[in-house]
Structure 1
Amino acid sequence: MSDLTLELSGIAKAYNKGRENEVTVLRQIDLHVEPGEIVALVAPSGAGKSTLLHIAGLLDAPDSGSVKIAGQTVTGLSDRKRTAIRREDVGFVYQFHHLLPEFTALENIVLPQLANGVSATAAQERAKDLLTRVGVSHRADHRPAALSGGEQQRVAFCRALANSPRLLLADEPTGNLDPATSDQVFAALMELVRDTGLSAVIATHNLELAARMDRQLRLEDGTLVSL
């Protein structure tokens, strides 16, 4: 069994297939991510980075090619099995935090753990620990509307890591923040990822942020090239 966290092989994806306005988004993408490796995915809007991340995270299916997570081929599995793998092994962070507005910061991190069978006591301890790591433990009892944009995104990071996934996929995680806050929040994310030792693929427009990661790839015309 491979010890790679993520293996994408020959991934292709097109929309409006068979029509005159067919758009090919991804062409024979190969991407291998080592355990503990943080990979930057640099691409302009509309280049297909969200599609690539959705395929890697089992939210979308490729037209061709295979996806492996922790050595297990996940393309072709049932929806139930893919959902289980996504819940246990993959964490997502988006440009917008998507926190549940009626729940506190702590509860937003507890809920995915409860859905994964973790006890309420253990889930709360895990949530408190994660909030402490990103410096917002003092905001644990606040709902998202009472948090700043940077605080909301830090809580979103904690939620993504609540179930101790092997892989983190982040789509422009600081793209909705001002430059100063973006830098602080990104530093918190990098520290959290490094401390937990998981692998990550982080899409960003920001070349300075990309340079802080282990490897930088650019998505151009549906293919990946190294920077």
Structure 2
Amino acid sequence: MNDVRILDLKGLTKTYNAGKPNEVAVLRGVDLHVDKGEVVALVAPSGAGKSTLLHIAGLLDTPDAGQVHIGGTDMTGLSDRQRTTVRRTDVGFIYQFHHLLPEFSAQENIVLPQLAAGVPKTQAQNRAIELLRTVGIAARADHRPAALSGGEQQRVAFCRALANKPRLLLADEPTGNLDPETSNQVFASLMDLVRNTGLSALIATHNLELAARMDRIVRLDAGRLSDTASHG
């Protein structure tokens, strides 16, 4: 699709409880790439290791073997501080549950990660409103999470993930906690955000209908990955 690979995973292996009777080989030599501007669906049965794969791709976990390249740079051997910097600037995370800070407004939840990255406050506030406007809830900017619907909370979480203009978005069942109608609406908002920013994304989902709306589907099962043809 594009010769610029934003994410390139090579030969990833991960085993829990290694050497013990209850050891579980979660990843068995996984290779996966996401090109610039590409949205890839990661489909897997429960317990197949998709969260582990996403955590390794986002430098929240380390593989037993294999390499993670982000933007063409090998992440192997980075210090904890360097990994934190990459996560803060180059990678955005979305989870099934929004994990918004309850004592802060929607806008403030999006401003905070920008302040942590050194963005001036006024610029961060303007960026937050711009993102909230993109997903259609700018009027709710001053509301705390408890005053927002589930769909609105997740839209705020999307905006927070994109606040620092990352190159790569990693999402783990981002609409899995929503009813089907809300899920479709919220997913459409996410895709608009991704497409409008030219972001690269790896999105784990059980929903095959949502997966079919992405550029490509990869399937993780028994620790191995299979790739399907591109949709677009």
Q: Which residue of 2 aligns with 1:141?
A: 142
> Residue deviations 1:104-151, cap 9 Å, x none?
000000000000000001000100000000001010000000000000
Deviation at 1:45, TM superposition (A): 1.3
Separation in structure 1 between the aligned mates of residue 62 and residue 77 of structure 2, nearest angstrom: 9
Runs of 4+, deviation exceeding 6 Å: none
Separation in structure 1 between the aligned mates of residue 26 and residue 220 of structure 2, nearest angstrom: 10
Separation in structure 1 between the aligned mates of residue 221 and residue 26 of structure 2, nearest angstrom: 10
Separation in structure 2 between the aligned mates of residue 76 and residue 49 of structure 1, nearest angstrom: 23
Equivalent pairs counted in the alignment come to 226
Paired residue type of 2:173: E
Separation in structure 1 between the aligned mates of residue 211 and residue 191 of structure 2, nearest angstrom: 11
> Residue deviations 1:146-171, cap 9 Å, x none?
00000000000000000000000000
Matches within 5 A, 1:47-66: 47-66=48-67
Q: Which residue of 1 aligns with 2:7?
A: 6
Q: Which residue of 2 aligns with 1:23?
A: 24
Q: Which residue of 2 aligns with 1:211?
A: 212
Paired residue type of 1:86: R
Q: Which residue of 1 aligns with 2:198?
A: 197
Paired residue type of 2:49: G
For structure 1, the residue ranges without an aligned partner over 5 or more in a row are none
Matches within 5 A, 1:75-114: 75-114=76-115
Q: TM-score, normalised by structure 2?
A: 0.96
Paired residue type of 1:193: V
Separation in structure 1 between the aligned mates of residue 22 and residue 95 of structure 2, nearest angstrom: 29
Deviation at 1:18, TM superposition (A): 1.2
Q: Secondary structure at the match of 1:39?
A: strand
Q: Which residue of 2 aligns with 1:173?
A: 174
Q: Secondary structure at the match of 2:104?
A: coil
Matches within 5 A, 1:151-190: 151-190=152-191
Separation in structure 2 between the aligned mates of residue 42 and residue 12 of structure 1, nearest angstrom: 18
Separation in structure 2 between the aligned mates of residue 75 and residue 144 of structure 1, nearest angstrom: 37
Separation in structure 2 between the aligned mates of residue 181 and residue 75 of structure 1, nearest angstrom: 39
Q: Which residue of 2 aligns with 1:221?
A: 222
- Between the aligned residues of both structures, percent identity stands at 73
Deviation at 1:3, TM superposition (A): 2.8
Q: TM-score, normalised by structure 1?
A: 0.98
